[in-house]
Amino acid sequence: MSAEDQTEHASQLTVGMAELAVSRDPNATLCSCPLGACLGVVIYDPAVKIGGLLHSLLPSSSIAPARAIDRPGMFLDTGLTAMLERAKELGAKTENLQVFVVGGAQIMDESTAFNIGTRNYAALKEVLAQLGLPIYAEDVGGRPNRTVQINLATGDVRVKYSGQARMKSLCKPSTIT
């Protein structure tokens, strides 16, 4: 079952590769699977406590448009669009959205031209600029695999590095008054 098909009442919702989830359930925590070169993009509207998580593999749907229709979360452009649309349907306001980014590791050596993590991050920044959405906080690049999670009740976004027992807070939760 994909994360999109799970109910909003799950206390911990795991978002797999090429998936996305959006919820307004204050009891929910959205969690990614490990992110290597993939990007975990979290959105959160603190005014209404609606959040989403996208686990995107590739930067642009232009390489496989038919695949993007079936699995929009596979690509940053279509996944982000689908996640934002769902968040708005639930009541989130674009002007309130905070964007958090985790992942984009360089999993191959530095000399290779196939650095998908860097390409993913560059594509994300371009799409966000077109939408007028700034990145609120990020933990990208480097070599480690990591996971990300957001608690929808508090807006706390946490990151865990592979091989480490504890999660660290990516940002302090904030509210819009």
Query: Three-state SS across the chain?
Result: CCHHHCCCCCCEEEECCCEEEEECCCCCEEEECCECCCEEEEEEECCCCEEEEEEECECCHHHCHHHHHHCHHHEHHHHHHHHHHHHHHHCCCHHHCEEEEEECCCCCCCCCCCCHHHHHHHHHHHHHHHHCCCEEEEEECCCCCEEEEEECCCCCEEEEECCCCCCEECCCCCCCC
Catalytic residue among 31, 33, 38, 171: 38
Give catalytic status of residue 38 as yes or no. yes
Mind telling me the catalytic residues? 38
